[in-house]
């Protein structure tokens, strides 16, 4: 996901007949976030990165491996180009406890991580009033770190083995 300093205006209240004024920064600052949601408990792990490449994806997946050192990890991915590449092929070969399943093309509604990004944007970055990009990034990351994102509907479709302790 990419977080831009320019706020996306979604809704604004104003008195009838008065056009609301919305401050927009001329700065084009941005940062990319890698994220993974634990489908068992709704805990989100996010890591800001300057770019989205196979190499930065491998850094994030290594972070996941360190956070979950003793269990298999199922990565359910969309078909983003940065999920592929030499760095990720090597990492997947080196760590047999990593398994990848791809979502069907053009199905973001099936991806729990897309729901996390949507909720975080709605809570933090849409209509934001931060005058400092570093503060926006910190608040966004804090929201991701301190909010649970349960997806009970997934248990209807996923194999029961995903939910065993």
pLDDT digits (tens, 9 = 90+) for 44-97: 999 999 999 999 999 999 999 999 999 999 998 988 899 989 999 999 999 999
**How many whole angstroms from its chain centre is CA 80?**
13
d(CA 51, CA 55): 9
Helices 54-67 and 86-94, axial angle in degrees (round to 10): 30
Q: Is the pLDDT of residue 165 over 60?
A: no
Contact 141, 46 (CB under 8 A): yes
Q: Is the pLDDT of residue 161 over 80?
A: no
pTM: 0.81
Q: CATH code for 2-6+31-151?
A: 3.30.420.10
Listed residue (68, 40, 36) closest to 160, CA to CA: 40
d(CA 72, CA 58): 16
């Amino acid at each position: 996901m990419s977080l831009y300093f320019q706020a996306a205006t979604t809704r604004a209240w104003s008195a009838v007949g008065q056009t609301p004024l919305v401050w927009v920064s001329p700065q084009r600052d941005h940062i990319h976030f890698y994220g993974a949601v634990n489908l068992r408990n709704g805990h989100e792990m996010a890591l800001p990165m300057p770019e989205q490449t196979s190499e930065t994806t491998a850094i994030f997946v290594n972070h996941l491996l360190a956070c979950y050192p003793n269990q298999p990890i199922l990565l359910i991915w969309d078909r983003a180009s940065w999920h592929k590449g030499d760095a990720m092929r090597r990492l997947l070969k080196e760590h047999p406890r990593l398994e990848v399943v791809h979502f069907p093309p053009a199905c973001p509604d099936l991806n729990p991580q897309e729901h996390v990004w949507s909720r975080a944007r709605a809570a933090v970055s849409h209509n934001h009033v931060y005058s400092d990009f570093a503060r926006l990034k910190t608040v966004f990351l804090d929201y991701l770190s301190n909010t649970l994102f349960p997806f009970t509907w997934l248990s209807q479709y996923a194999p029961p083995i995903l939910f065993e302790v």
